[in-house]
Structure 1
């Protein structure tokens, strides 16, 4: 595996990319998120600990599908905190992280630790935090990957209501911040409960990170395994509503020997494939972080356009409740707003947020006047982030060769040194500061010449002549020459009467 530093990032280029990405997010994207109320309609703003966190693997499944057993098998940890039984045993969300000694950190304390990316979980309340723990273990793989174990998904409404927190929203929050999502199924229990179905539907937006695991497959023979595999793929296709289904790993992920030896070769191969995918997570962490920020920037861009469109449709005067009435009308006729925004900004249907989710959040939004009147400046900033800053950042990663028809980079293969990235930004900042200083100096010069021309025109003329030959003002020589051309050449040609002459003339008149 790749070498990992204390905060979970691989040494060298990956750490440089993530640090620069953090600067771009905090400086460009995050202010627009806060300004546009993006957090009310989507996930809250990202934190520094989330951007610098180790890759996370989230395990979701119904009870007794082998989630905890898989974590124990991968990490090789024999801990008393891993309660493995035939009946439902895991009743808490448990993050398994690396540390020097074994200990458990409760939820309230875990959200306050700056090294852990779980401060955002405090939004789900104390009832959830009492069901969240962080298990610290000293295992080599935990230096690079963090595992999150979840309670078994229930099937009855009574158990769902008694949780005390929204299980689906918690899973959605964890899924959006995970690098790999494993959906576990038991080969003997293929029924998918309503709650599990809702959880799968809620993480559709992270479908590229989802993998399916058909566990306990060694307990059935080959003929029945084919039937089980086909039935599971059919059920998942109906839930995901897509012809492409996620990668399916078939096996038995524990240390015991296989009960059915017929499929030992197949099960061992899928074991190796799953382990290899886990090993690849730290190598690609910087690319995934960039992908997350770009996807978030596109979502903010669409959100800004929707907010500006809704704000423009409000009446100028909100007397007699007209504004509230118009807000309710727009919330109910949101598809028309979607169509208008897609046509005006040329957005694809897949770029738009889920209609029902956005409508639900819009109903609880107090005042549409909180949206911006115009989003042109913010749109330009986001376009610059996506089209200029991110490509320059991705050039640090390299790995893609340049076309023979195009201009090759000086380093070859599209590679850019990290120091060049920082120096270019510093050069642009220096250019901006030089221009600001130049215009300030020009303004002071104009004011000084104007005052001198009013008080003593002869002295001002001499100053202009001396300034034309000054080496520091070489860029201003054309302008000084023009001023000198139109300046009177003799004191008698001046149209401005000096102050001391005007004072003497007035005194003589009075006498």
Structure 2
């Protein structure tokens, strides 16, 4: 009987949308109260955009003066990014534009088809029953990568325009071809939340469809967005817990990003409490082989859409879960500048290591070469067996570099196969009277300038940390991540 009532409610909602009626008194599921969204995300408070912009300008200046010259001198962006790193993470893209530095935090929605990804975005932004809501339905509806971002007025932006605009961070997407750009769309709208974050809605995973049928490299595009996402919501439906080949591939691409993954069991109010417990256990059983980490990712159980929870369900539990997810999102927003500085510093460390390695290769090549030497044979001997010449070990011994940060040796065989070793100058010659040395500038940025910028942000963020007003003399600090 309850299933029949749910079907009737669903049909009533469809008829309401089709007729364009604004009254909701006759609909069994009334609109849900959304005041907690604004309160938890602090949308009513003024964002210190002036301080944020000033710090971002300093960060951009450090990058352009200290890190980018080294990138260009030793062609760092031509390395195969996903293969050289001992630890997965973001990079500045193929173009290295300011768009990657100034971009807002990105929240990525992934998961099977029709699990409620688009409905969740509509709910968070209040787009339901408006002409601008993302299309939703019981069938696979989203076939495009949709980027929802802030703008002065509501408008859609074609993928080819987004890729051609160098001020945005999407120009590297051109490498995936015109077929993909036709499946990329941007939506701009004036919204307080979008001033601080960008949402990306993705096509649902359909296990019986090969990625070749999409007309573009779906997994490669997903990887591009995964590498740039600050928070990744993987959404599931209680009726779609089966794991196929495409979902397995997705979780392999998420390897190393477990700290940014949040699993969402959506539409939880469609189940009775006892059935929900079984589904929750089944979800963990399905995902256990795919997420091989000591601590499992956080799982949120709720129903993320604009209408009220179904009757006779765990309403208070769902409300608390939703608030916890919003707090997670707010944490990413509040820490966006700190994360950006840490990301640029990590990127600078990689660029420095790359430059030191190229310099060592060049020095070894110059030392081995003589008047009677064959350049190709000398080059091949060094590249094929760098350990014979202590190239990587010498970097560890002299520069205080962690062995876990060293790139893959095979990446340099391909790198020098494209870029002639004779085209690079030793680091000792990369100096000028007015500008100083490239190595000195990047080391100063890594050890002094970026940490100092991070410290200034934290001091502005927590004034008077030792005062009772800041901490509360009579209150014990609470750790919301600790289980009580």
Q: Does 1:390 align with 2:450?
A: yes
**Aligned ranges for residues 141-220 of structure 1 at < 5 Å?**
141-156=193-208, 159-220=210-271
Aligned partner of 1:351 in structure 2 is 405
SS at match of 1:238: coil
Question: Does the CA contact (< 8 Å) of 2:43 and 2:192 recur in 1?
Answer: no
Residues 1:138 and 1:244: Cα distance change in structure 2 (over 3 Å): same
Give structure 1 stretches of 5+ with no counterpart: 403-410, 415-511
Aligned partner of 2:50 in structure 1 is 12
**Aligned ranges for residues 403-442 of structure 1 at < 5 Å?**
none
Q: Does 1:381 align with 2:418?
A: no
Larger helix proportion, structure 1 or 2?
Answer: 1
Residues 1:177 and 1:401: Cα distance change in structure 2 (over 3 Å): closer
Residues 1:255 and 1:4: Cα distance change in structure 2 (over 3 Å): closer
Q: Structure 1 residue 270: deviation in Å?
A: 1.0
Could you list the per-position Cα deviations for residues 231-261 of structure 1 after superposition, in whole angstroms to 9, with x for gaps in the alignment? Answer: 4345545334321222221111112333473
Following the alignment from structure 2 to structure 1, what is the Cα–Cα distance between the partners of residues 63 and 44? 26
Could you list the per-position Cα deviations for residues 5-39 of structure 1 after superposition, in whole angstroms to 9, with x for gaps in the alignment? Answer: 9xxx8423222211100100011111111222211
Residues 1:200 and 1:308: Cα distance change in structure 2 (over 3 Å): farther
Residues 1:169 and 1:71: Cα distance change in structure 2 (over 3 Å): same
Instruction: Give me the TM-score of the superposition, normalised by structure 1.
Output: 0.68
Name whichever of 39-48 and 302-311 sits farther off.
302-311
Could you list the per-position Cα deviations for residues 138-174 of structure 1 after superposition, in whole angstroms to 9, with x for gaps in the alignment? Answer: 4332233221111113434x62113333223322322
Following the alignment from structure 1 to structure 2, what is the Cα–Cα distance between the partners of residues 211 and 4? 26
Aligned partner of 1:248 in structure 2 is 299
Instruction: Give me the TM-score of the superposition, normalised by structure 2.
Output: 0.71
Could you list the per-position Cα deviations for residues 319-372 of structure 1 after superposition, in whole angstroms to 9, with x for gaps in the alignment? Answer: 3842564477359x89x976665455443354234678x479648645344555
Question: Does the CA contact (< 8 Å) of 1:154 and 1:160 recur in 2?
Answer: no
SS at match of 1:392: helix
The aligned length equals 399
Q: Structure 1 residue 397: deviation in Å?
A: 1.2
Following the alignment from structure 1 to structure 2, what is the Cα–Cα distance between the partners of residues 190 and 111? 35
Give structure 2 stretches of 5+ with no counterpart: 1-41, 82-92, 431-436, 467-484
Could you list the per-position Cα deviations for residues 49-88 of structure 1 after superposition, in whole angstroms to 9, with x for gaps in the alignment? Answer: 3322332211111222211111111111134562211121
Candidates 340, 354, 366, aligned match of 1:289:
340
Residues 1:181 and 1:349: Cα distance change in structure 2 (over 3 Å): farther
Aligned partner of 1:68 in structure 2 is 118
Following the alignment from structure 2 to structure 1, what is the Cα–Cα distance between the partners of residues 78 and 441? 21
Question: Does the CA contact (< 8 Å) of 2:71 and 2:351 recur in 1?
Answer: yes
Aligned partner of 1:93 in structure 2 is 145
Which of structures 1 and 2 has the larger relative contact order (alpha carbons within 8 angstroms, sep 6+)? Answer: 2
Following the alignment from structure 2 to structure 1, what is the Cα–Cα distance between the partners of residues 285 and 196? 35
Following the alignment from structure 1 to structure 2, what is the Cα–Cα distance between the partners of residues 125 and 265? 47
Residues 1:330 and 1:257: Cα distance change in structure 2 (over 3 Å): farther
Aligned partner of 1:34 in structure 2 is 72
Q: Which has more radius of gyration?
A: 1
Could you list the per-position Cα deviations for residues 380-402 of structure 1 after superposition, in whole angstroms to 9, with x for gaps in the alignment? Answer: 43321121101221232134999
Aligned partner of 2:163 in structure 1 is 111
Question: Does the CA contact (< 8 Å) of 1:183 and 1:212 recur in 2?
Answer: yes
Q: For the aligned residues, what is the CA RMSD?
A: 3.5
Aligned partner of 1:134 in structure 2 is 186
Q: Does 1:84 align with 2:136?
A: yes
Name whichever of 237-246 and 310-319 sits farther off.
310-319
